[in-house]
Chains A and B, each alone.
Chain A
Amino acid sequence: MVELRHLRSGGRLILPPVIRRFVALSCAFLSIVCSIGCRSNQVSLPMAHQAFAKGDLETATGVLNELADGSQTLRYPSELDLAVVELASGKAPEAETRLRQLREHFDAVAAVSVKDAASMVTDDRTRDFALADYEDVMLRTLLAVCSLSSGSGDATAYLLQAQSRQEELAERLAKADDGPRYNLQVALAPYLHGAIREASHQDYDDAERAFRLVSQIQPGFLPAAEDIARASTGTHSPKGHGVVYVVSLVGEGPQRVEEVAATTTASLQIASSILKTVRNEADDRDEPVLPNIASVKVPTVVVPESPIAAVGVRTALGFLGATQTVTDVGTLAREQCDAEMPWTIARAVARRVLKETSVAAVSDSIGLSGNAASVLEFAASSVWSGAEKADTRCWSLLPREFQVLRAALPAGPQTLEFVPLGHGGQPIAAPINHSLTMENGRNHYVFVFAPGQIVSIVDSAP
């Protein structure tokens, strides 16, 4: 028991050395806690998302620019979102430049290993923001979309990069014997590649391969069968016709939110191996003793409800159809997050153990023992661990789904009517007309941004 006595000398409060150390240590911890998560500016990512969903692209751009120039933690997620807003605003060259720089940045940041994960003593937000695997592939695919829109001529290269990155990541997953397993394949990349190769009127075999890959990745994409048949025996379009590809970015994309998850046997086993790695313990028989941790904060994926299900397309000739899902971003995000959950929980458990060990070591080094040590350790550990937050950063302005519709139209001026369709197939807003000029035997791409309603329509370069 520590004797608590208040002594006054010359107007100063004199505390016993042990208490002074405790107070100093607590202040240090509180300052760490306060420094985590404090933001001075008033803008936030949800503000940008709301503005984008309403079609207020100017406000979304302003908010994201401010966030990208602000804290390092939110810089890269904000820049990714900013590229999407720029693309929707018709500033494809700016979006392409930004995405290219981001691709180089993310390629340079090494993947976080088990040892790196264990090395963190605050929480996962202090890590460099790294893209999820599907986001990595999507970045290259969106570069191709920017290129088609700006006419920079690099679309094929970006699409090949997307497919090559996809294979590389899939191989890395397959090599990790006891690692997570999830689908990271983005069918939009081979689909656009097939569309471009088919329009050469010469490389039908490439187009057929690409469409077969699309069908394999996204079996529910029914138009793939028609695409395969056309690429293997037919031609690009009837004489005097061009082809329009409507690519719609439908719904609000997956977001990461914090939730409290219970620890599992699998996650505790992984945590144990993380701790052994950190402590360089080679002896398998000496398992680290884990404290009783029932739950930890982790990020989980939520796909916000959106009223829009697809985009209907009509011309003067009649109803062409509704766009069909070629890549379900929400499902890709959920699958990866769920598959990685035991590792995410394990990292949080390992971090908690390291914090408690550190506090105990500090308590020991300042000579505390008995109840005083217990009080200090409990207080410091609680404050330190309580300050933890899950890393909820992600590329949040990606759509819920990428959908496409292909139609052959007579060459010459055409007016397309786009209407957002609800989950029951009914129109949920007034249609929007869009004029374009079809070229004989050529592709024309139209990108429709519809997070909840149609907020923007962007044409490909002539």
Chain B
Amino acid sequence: MVPLLVLPWVAGCASKQYAHILANNDKDLVGSHAAGAATWNPLVEESVAKLLSRCPPDVRPVSYHMEGSQPIVEGPSTICFAGIENKSAEELGDFKDQLFEQIDSQINSGSSFRGISRRVVQAALLETRLRPDSLFLPGNRDVFAAALGKAGSPVDYLLFATITSGTTDRNKSSQRDYTLTLEMVNVHSGDFVKESAKIRKGYSKSRTGKWWNYGIFDQADG
């Protein structure tokens, strides 16, 4: 009788999930299998800050105008964020749009540039049927700039973001370097400015992997 009485008839039990709101000073979670917030957030901040610091504050105002007339838009230069290209070994999942908005917002929050709405950019790409990576070609750039101008959003700069990664494996541990590169091309002159930020991250199968590989004896060296 014992087994009958002892054995419960319940096949499974419900699992629960809990959540809490993070305070501003709470640290971001470090992803165990992929980059995550602790990697991307500082990368965006650093690369955008570097780029904006290198750009001249007295950039010429927007110059889309009719022949023989004055420029129709005055003010800070306009910048068109063409998109993020992921060339890393990891899928970005829901982070891609998040990164796009973060970069776009940070650039807009400065006084040097005025961003063009993402929807306008997508409409211009749709109209011209140009790929973002084809805008580096002067001819395509002109067609695209004209489409934006026609939509009432003349452009001075095109901004491209690229995510790359480099992976080093050693036995059961690995190191992955993540780089976010921002490249800003002047539509009028073709000149470009490029800045990047890098974060290195170690992955291991055990909690002690961090000390084992990157401990006080500099084991990573050999």
Residues of A within 8 A of B (CB): 107-112, 116-122, 126-128, 130, 157, 160, 163-164, 200-206, 209, 235-239, 278, 354, 357-358, 361-362, 365, 440-441
Which residue on A lies nearest to B121, using beta carbons?
Answer: A202
A444 to B72, CA, bound (A): 38
B131 in contact with A235 (CB, 8 Å): yes
Q: How far is the CA of A107 from the CA of B94 in the complex (A)?
A: 20
Name the residue of chain B whose CB is nearest to the CB of A130: B12
Q: Any chain A CB within 8 A of the CB of B29?
A: no
List 14 extra interface pairs beyond A120-B9, A120-B11, CB under 8 A.
A108-B15, A109-B12, A109-B14, A110-B14, A110-B15, A121-B3, A121-B7, A126-B9, A201-B125, A201-B131, A202-B132, A205-B87, A237-B129, A362-B1
Partner of A157, one of B3, B94, B132: B94
Q: A358 and B129: CB pair below 8 A?
A: no
- Tell which of B41-49, B78-86, B102-110, B176-184 binds the partner: B78-86
In-complex Cβ contact of B11 among A119, A160, A201 (8 A)? A119
The answer to whether B122 touches A354, judged by C-beta atoms less than 8 angstroms apart, is no
| Contact A238:B129 (CB < 8 A) given known A109-B14, A127-B11 | yes
Question: By the criterion CB–CB under 8 Å, are B9 and A121 in contact?
Answer: yes
When A108-B15, A236-B129, A362-B1 are in contact, do A278 and B85 touch as well, CB less than 8 Å?
no
Q: In the assembly, what is the distance between CA of A244 and CA of B192, in Å?
A: 39
* B216 part of interface (Cβ distance < 8 Å): no
B126 surroundings in chain A (CB, below 8 A): 201, 236, 440-441
B133 at the interface (CB under 8 A from A): yes
**Distance A70 CA – B184 CA, assembled complex (angstroms):** 63
Query: A127 contacts which of B1, B12, B132 (Cβ < 8 Å)?
Result: B12
Q: Indicate whether A206 sits within 8 Å of B3 (C-beta atoms), given known contacts A108-B16, A111-B12.
A: no
Residue of B nearest to A120 (CB): B11
Interface residue? B220 (CB, 8 A): no
* Complex Cα spacing A375 to B215, Å: 71
Contact across chains for B2 and A361 when beta carbons are under 8 A apart = yes
Task: State whether B7 touches A278 (Cβ < 8 A).
Answer: yes
Most buried by B among A107, A119, A121, A163: A119
B131 and A119 within 8 A (CB): no
Please report the C-alpha to C-alpha distance between residue A365 and residue B2 in the assembled complex, in whole angstroms.
10
Asked if A126 meets B122 with Cβ closer than 8 Å, knowing A164-B93, A205-B86, A209-B86, the reply is no
The smallest beta-carbon distance between B126 and chain A, in angstroms, is 4
- B25 to chain A minimum Cβ distance, whole angstroms, is 29
Judge whether A119 and B94 touch: CB under 8 Å.
Answer: no
- Closest Cβ–Cβ distance, residue B97 to chain A (whole Å): 8
**In the complex, how many angstroms separate the beta carbon of B59 from the nearest chain A beta carbon?**
25
The smallest C-beta distance from B14 to any residue of chain A, in angstroms, reads 5
Report the Cα distance A110→B93, complex, angstroms.
Answer: 26
Please provide the 7 A-B residue pairs with the shortest distance between their CB atoms, ordered closest to farther: A127-B11, A441-B126, A201-B125, A202-B83, A358-B4, A235-B129, A110-B12
Known: A119-B7, A160-B93, A362-B1. A202 touches B12 (CB 8 A): no
| Cβ–Cβ < 8 Å partners of B93 in chain A | 160, 163-164
Q: Which A residues are in CB contact (< 8 Å) with B131? A: 201, 204, 235
C-alpha gap A278/B82 in the complex (Å): 61
Cα A201 to Cα B87 with chains together (Å): 18
